[in-house]
A and B are shown apart, each in its own frame.
Chain A
Amino acid sequence: MAQTPYEVLGVKTDASPDDIRKAYRKLAKQLHPDLNPGKPEAEARFKTVTAAYDLLSDADKRARYDRGEIDESGAERPHYSYRPHAEGAQGWKYGPQGEMDPADLEDLFAMFGSGGMGGARRGRGARGEQFAMPGGDRLYTLTVDFVEAAAGGKQRLSLAPENWLDVTIPPGIEEGQVLRLKGKGDPGIGGGPAGDALIEVHVAPHPYFRRDGDNILVELPVSLSEAVLGARITVPTVTGPVTMTIPKGADSGAQLRLRGKGIHRRGDPAGGDQIVTLKIVIGDSGDAELASFLETWAPKHPADPRRGMVS
């Protein structure tokens, strides 16, 4: 098995940067190829020592090595360890039977209260009190649809077998927002209160809706005749389709506002709007009849749409 860079330099794993530098200089002086001509083993060790120093003298690399993310040569490890995940925010999920048996923990923590394990005082504090400790918080992530995030809704979050949380999504929730469900975390120990469930919400992007604060933005394709002649069309909103009028002669890029069709946060009866940006689409490379009409058509009041842009 390869030596760790700490072993190569002969330092402890908690050595300070200063210690590491000193250890390296000492070895480098002994092993430098210029001082050891014709000694290939010294040269090889010099290279190993230098590589170890390169890794340990870079605080960032050293931290990554310590976490097991890279190996002695600085290469990424092909597998990432399960441990950081097991002990990370989501690791509770794979706790024994989904959650720790509070009785086991009382045993564990009782040791701290009674000055040792066993004996009649087991499970009692120094003053004869039961050792109590609040339960830890649990972090979950939940992905919701764009429309659900905007309009609000309910989601069932499956935690573990036969165990779930019903989560109410408040309207207008934003990416990364954290919902706190009181008392839905780890159970308390020795009568302590339970921890909370913290649910980090991620909002999935939508194919055509976007958000700007409490307003919903949507780019709406309209046909040339709808734009020129005006039309009554059906538009999707986060709370269902509505009918909207396109005024005669609407331009591509024109914005129409559907009042109150955006996000309604609780306690905000007016709510945001939906802002519709028109986009004129010609479709399948235009219609032959339309093309021949335009060829013969001379507008009575010709206007240059690029006036002022080109001098």
Chain B
Amino acid sequence: MIAFDELLIRYRGLERRDLSRWVENHWVLPERHAETWVFHEVDVARVELILDIRRDFAIDDDAMELVLGLLDQVYGLRRQMRRLCEAVAAQPEEVQDAIRRALPKSR
């Protein structure tokens, strides 16, 4: 866990008004804790992701909104897919085999 100001120190090039705006836009969702924001690991990784995207692709806020929205959808689906895979993995061998046989070959 890391505080707002510590994040600014850790990432040179990250400005206070940027990070504030990202939190306002709900791109980063830190935990509200006693009048301040606390960033968990997932939030820090999220900040890093936004910094990387901004630097590597030089995109503006509108495009960032779109990119993050799409990324979140992909990860949301991957999470659900993983749950499904876990459910399949918990089945008896013969059920798993049947599922594998029933999967159409990918083209």
Q: Once bound together, how far apart are the Cα atoms of A161 and B41, in whole Å?
A: 19
CB distance from A32 to the nearest CB of B (A): 41
Separation of A115 and B102 alpha carbons in the complex (Å): 9
Tell me the bound Cα distance from A83 to B78 in angstroms. Answer: 10
Name B's interface SS. helix
> Chain B residues near A159 (CB, 8 Å)?
29
14 A-B pairs within 8 Å (CB atoms) are namely A80-B45, A80-B48, A85-B46, A86-B45, A93-B29, A94-B46, A96-B76, A105-B80, A108-B77, A108-B80, A112-B84, A143-B1, A143-B31, A158-B29
Report B60-102 CB contacts with A as 1/0, cut-off 8 Å: 0000000011011101111110111000000000000000001
B-side interface residues toward A, CB under 8 Å? 1, 26, 29, 31-33, 38, 40-42, 45-46, 48-49, 52, 68-69, 71-73, 75-80, 82-84, 102
Number of A-B contacts (CB under 8 A): 76
Residue of B nearest to A93 (CB): B29
Given B31, B45, B48, B80, which contacts A158 in the complex, CB threshold below 8 Å?
B31
Q: Is the CB–CB distance between A95 and B75 below 8 Å?
A: yes
* Chain B nearest Cβ from A146, distance in angstroms: 13
Residue in A closest to B25 when the chains form the complex, CB atoms: A161
Q: Is A244 an interface residue (CB 8 A)?
A: no
How many A residues are at the interface, by size bracket? 20 to 34
Q: Complex Cα distance A160/B31, Å?
A: 9
Q: Given A91, A141, A158, which contacts B75 in the complex, CB threshold below 8 Å?
A: A91
Least Cβ–Cβ distance between A157 and chain B, in angstroms: 7
In the complex, are the beta carbons of B42 and A91 less than 8 A apart?
yes
Task: State which residues 105-150 of A face B: CB under 8 Å.
Answer: 105, 108-109, 112, 115, 136, 141-143
B84 touches A87 (CB 8 A): no
Question: In the assembled complex, how far is the CB of residue B88 from the closest CB belonging to chain A, in whole angstroms?
Answer: 9
A159 to B30, CA, bound (A): 9
Chain B residues contacting A109 (CB-CB under 8 Å) are: 84
Q: Contact: B72 with A87, CB < 8 Å?
A: no
Q: Are B40 and A160 in contact (CB under 8 A)?
A: no
B38 surroundings in chain A (CB, below 8 A): 143
A281 within 8 A of B: no
Are A95 and B79 touching (Cβ within 8 A)?
Answer: yes
B77 — which chain A residues lie within 8 A by C-beta?
108
> Per-residue CB proximity of A64-84 to B under 8 Å, as 1/0?
000000000000000111110
